[in-house]
Copies of this chain bind each other. A is one copy, B any other.
Amino acid sequence: MFSITVRDHVMVAHSFRGEVFGPAQRLHGATFVVDARFKRTDLDADNIVVDIGLATSELGTVLAALNYRNLDEVPEFEGVNTSTEFLAKHIADRLAERVHAGALGEGAKGLSAIEVTLHESHVAWASYERAL
């Protein structure tokens, strides 16, 4: 199994609902350093997993929709706890849509899975992996 991973980041504000979140129920924020990992069984005709330039720019596009925002005010997330693990899935799902739409190139149709990891600090991170 092969994979390539590209890294970018996003800076957001949000708050959580639920006693389990303690002081994080207050409006606060986070930098998420985001790793998007693309997996496949065999390399394509160019000997690569996916065009790393497109992978990077598509990750950037997905993150731009979140960047410098207060997630509490994004209609799509109304009533949702935008936890690190939830956001990992959100980003992976958006990337999967881009793959299926052909935005990562024809070769990307051979991808088998995407794993997205969000680092919220030097001591905590969350991941979500899904099939394509």
Residues of A1-33 contacting chain B, CB below 8 A:
1-9, 11-14, 16, 18, 20-24, 26-33
A58 contacts the other chain (CB 8 A): no
Would A128 and B29 be within 8 Å (CB), given that A23-B67, A48-B83 are in contact?
no
B27 touches A13 (CB 8 A): yes
Given contacts A12-B28, A22-B53, A68-B26, contact A83 B47 (CB under 8 A): yes
Q: Which of B33, B89, B121 contacts A2 (CB 8 A)?
A: B89
Bound: A122/B51 CA distance, A = 18
| A13 and B29 contact, CB distance less than 8 A | yes
A49-B126 in contact (CB<8A): yes
Residues of chain B contacted by A76 (CB below 8 angstroms): none
A86: contacting residue among B13, B18, B47, B120, CB under 8 A: B47
Contact B70 A27 (CB under 8 A): yes
**Is the Cβ of B3 less than 8 Å from the Cβ of A20?**
no
Any B CB within 8 A of the CB of A102: no
